[in-house]
Amino acid sequence: MPDIRTVTTHCPYCALQCGTILTRERTGVVVRPSDFPVNQGGLCQKGWTAPTLLDTPDRLKHPLVRGNDGELRACSWDAALNVVAIGLRAAQREHGADAAAVFGGGGLTNEKAYLLGKFARVALGTRQIDYNGRFCMSSAAAAGSAAFGLDRGLPFPVTDLGRADVVMLAGANVAETMPPLMQHLTRPSLIVLDPRVSATAQRAALHLQPAPGTDLALVLGLLHIAVVDGFCDTGYVRSRTSGFDEAWKRAMTWWPERVERETGVPVADLRAAVRMLAEGERAYILTGRGVEQHSKGTDTVSGFINLALALGLPGIDGSGYGCLTGQGNGQGGREHGQKADQLPGYRSITDPAARQHIADQWGVDVASLPGPGRSAAELFASLGQEDGPRALLVFGSNPVVSAPDSQHVVERLRALDLLVVADFVPSETAQLADVVLPVTQWAEEEGTVTNLEGRVLRRRRLRVPPSHARSDLEVLHGLATRLGQPGHRFPTGAREVFEELRSASRGGIADYSGISYTRLDSGEALHWPCPRISRGHHPGTPRLFLDWFAHTDGRARFVPVEHRPPHDAATHHLPLWATTGRVLTQYQSGAQTRRVPDLHAANPEPFVEVHPDTAERAGVRDGQLARVTSARGSTIARVRVEPSMRTDTVFLPFHFPADGSANLITPAALDPRSRMPEFKVAAVRLDALSALAGPKSTTAGSSPVDSTGQTEVYG
């Protein structure tokens, strides 16, 4: 590798994928923002501190294999991969092809996500593959596909928001989760839907504060008002949509006063929200995890899309609907085959033509391609069971912290015959593994990611990784060849894998065939679909739906939806609603950000936000430890008394492990369409604890792994 001192690349965290410039200096890697459109020279705290993680003291530097004494010890790559291959063969020999399973992540590059799906279906021949994006974007993806015929988070560039008059943010706290996005939201008047007075809600012109689990009732009421009060764009509805009458029949019964009783949002505020959206010359509705992570999340997103369609927003230049993708490659990660029901190019795995196309690309018999497998939560529930997988490979995910009903997930992981985790830090999931494989980080590898706008971006390598770390592509190649696959079928170079991905995606919904490293390296802004054309280059599609939607008739679809209560029911013993979310200085399961001292210092332990009256009734005080208990289990957190909270609601961030994990209390109830778990609402009670001991939580830089990488041992 040539001695590269500076590269332009992108932040490793959220789906904005802010542009950055990395420089190797004597003191280490230094980051500064580039003038990339989504961040325009800005970065959040996570972006500024991202290089710290490259040299975290507990960086995994050698493969680890658990011995008969129960401890993980360093070994050679050959030894580790042999253990994995032998374990996979043994599981499948005794229990069938589906005894081996794969779980990926929305932070993997496009190349990794593609090759992971190919590995599962070709090298393992298993149906059982899914990824952590199931916990993030699946409801919005299902709703967007039903309404528009395809799913792309934002069907327009982020910069379009800067020209808006009004933006509704439904269940999105972007001031903390995507701070650079806020500079595009200074001009518009903001309408924010959130049970909390979040950092974003504090900047809103209008804040709607519904009870957790009632977002669908609220948006049905907004559609009712839009129609009854004369704000429906009937010309747009007639010319560009279908299915309005059935959707309206459901909303017809949700008159404003009924919605106020169900949600707690005043009628006057409901009417004001509709009026603002309808009277703004350029208006947008954006949804986030707050309305999506429910057992009715798909229907709720469909409700917001119905509202946008009734107001004539989607596909109109200067207006629209979009979903704020969360993970760094949450968009690209769900397009190229690591979802249980998908093949590359966003093709359905049950479509005979799609199966034949991919089989031809991969050089295998179409009959050998397995069908759809279990979704993430269902996959974890089946681990170690009679009809479930006996071996699991985890790439780029930490489900011990991020999955719902996490204690049950831990139990299922422990029931496996073989758990293999590829990571660069000893995450909570890695600490349970039988084999841990140290892999490269974002600044040590080449590849592409796709941001929330559908724009394909180049990730560039700045430095050489530790000598014993390998890329995920190399890991997959090593395992595939040990399982009898020809080496050429699983390339180790990102560029070569991308060339294959281009061809595999050709003709699919997410068509990347006209995108190349050469074009990306020249600075072209390429949004999919970007097909290969016979002459010249396709310019990409930054704005979708201007003339047509992706259904065969070119029309968008209204989807009839009806409100229903959450899985849990509040009772005398569980009288409160708990909702979970993120904080500014942590990211996802916290496995990365909890290892950055500056970020960890800002939020070093779990906390629970509680209204003063709620705290008094529960007998807890500000700064005291409390136990939050649901029907699944309990978590321990430090009380933060917050007067802006609803009296029936408590809030917990989900970034912390062990007995401070918020997902110890969340239900695994699933959306019937997207299979999204219900993260955002759980019936709980609050009890005081002694302040003598705090919840167990990983501290910055701490780990039982020897940082020298020579004699790693942990149990």
Range list of H helices, 203-349 = 215-228, 234-240, 244-251, 256-263, 267-279, 289-292, 297-310, 330-333
Task: Supply 91's token pair.
Answer: 């599981």
Task: Supply 297's token pair.
Answer: 């999340």
CATH number at residue 292: 3.40.228.10
pLDDT given for residue 695 in this prediction: 58
Answer whether residue 569 shows pLDDT above 50. Answer: yes
Answer whether residue 714 shows pLDDT above 50. Answer: no
Domain count of the chain?
Answer: 4
Residue 656 lies in a domain: yes
User: Are residue 217 and residue 294 in the same domain, yes or no?
Assistant: yes
Q: Which helix (H) or strand (E) element contains residue 66?
A: strand 64-66
Bridging pattern class, strands 166-170 and 283-287: parallel
User: Are residue 360 and residue 504 in the same domain, yes or no?
Assistant: yes
First to last CA, the chain: 37
Residue 439 DSSP symbol: B
Beta-carbon-side half-sphere exposure of residue 145 (alpha carbons within 13 Å): 16
Distances (CA, A) of 280 to 230, 273, 277, 524, 563: 15, 11, 5, 33, 28
Q: Give the position of tokens 């530790």.
A: 466
Could you read off the pLDDT of 628-658 as tens digits, one per residue? 999 999 999 999 999 999 999 999 999 999 9
Q: Give the position of tokens 């695994």.
A: 668
Considering only 291-300, 526-535, 693-702, which range has the smallest mean pLDDT?
693-702
% the chain with pLDDT above 70: 96
User: Are residue 355 and residue 502 in the same domain, yes or no?
Assistant: yes
Residue 701 lies in a domain: no
Considering only 25-29, 41-45, 178-182, 424-428, which range has the smallest mean pLDDT?
25-29
User: Are residue 206 and residue 248 in the same domain, yes or no?
Assistant: yes
Could you read off the pLDDT of 274-285 as tens digits, one per residue? 999 999 999 999
Question: Mean pLDDT across the stretch 589-613?
Answer: 96
CATH number at residue 415: 3.40.50.740
pLDDT given for residue 3 in this prediction: 66
Question: Mean pLDDT across the stretch 228-241?
Answer: 98
| Type of residue numbered 364 | V
User: Are residue 129 and residue 145 in the same domain, yes or no?
Assistant: no
User: Are residue 293 and residue 434 in the same domain, yes or no?
Assistant: no
The span from the CA of 184 to the CA of 169, in Å, is 13
Answer whether residue 712 shows pLDDT above 70. Answer: no
Considering only 249-253, 316-320, 343-347, 380-384, which range has the smallest mean pLDDT?
316-320
Task: Supply 164's token pair.
Answer: 């808006």
In 10 A of CB 553, how many CB atoms?
10
Crossing angle for the helix pair 244-251 and 297-310, nearest 10 degrees?
Answer: 110
User: Are residue 143 and residue 121 in the same domain, yes or no?
Assistant: no
Which domain does 189 fall in, by range? 138-328
Answer whether residue 2 shows pLDDT above 70. Answer: no
Contact criterion met (CB below 8 Å) for 130 and 339: yes
- DSSP sequence for 552-604: TTS-EE---------SS---SSS-EEEEEE--TT--TTSTTGGGSHHHHHHS-
Could you read off the pLDDT of 64-111 as tens digits, one per residue? 999 999 999 999 999 999 999 999 999 999 999 999 999 999 999 999
Answer whether residue 420 shows pLDDT above 90. Answer: yes
> pTM for the full model?
0.95
Contact criterion met (CB below 8 Å) for 337 and 113: yes
User: Are residue 16 and residue 159 in the same domain, yes or no?
Assistant: no
User: Are residue 300 and residue 361 in the same domain, yes or no?
Assistant: no
CATH number at residue 657: 2.40.40.20
Answer whether residue 700 shows pLDDT above 50. Answer: no
pLDDT given for residue 692 in this prediction: 43
User: Are residue 149 and residue 127 in the same domain, yes or no?
Assistant: no
% the chain with pLDDT above 90: 94
Query: Helix, strand, coil: what percent of the chain each, to 5?
Result: 35, 20, 50
User: Are residue 123 and residue 225 in the same domain, yes or no?
Assistant: no
Which of 482, 503, 521 terminates a domain? The answer is 521
Mean of per-residue pLDDT scores for the chain:
94
Answer whether residue 534 shows pLDDT above 70. Answer: yes
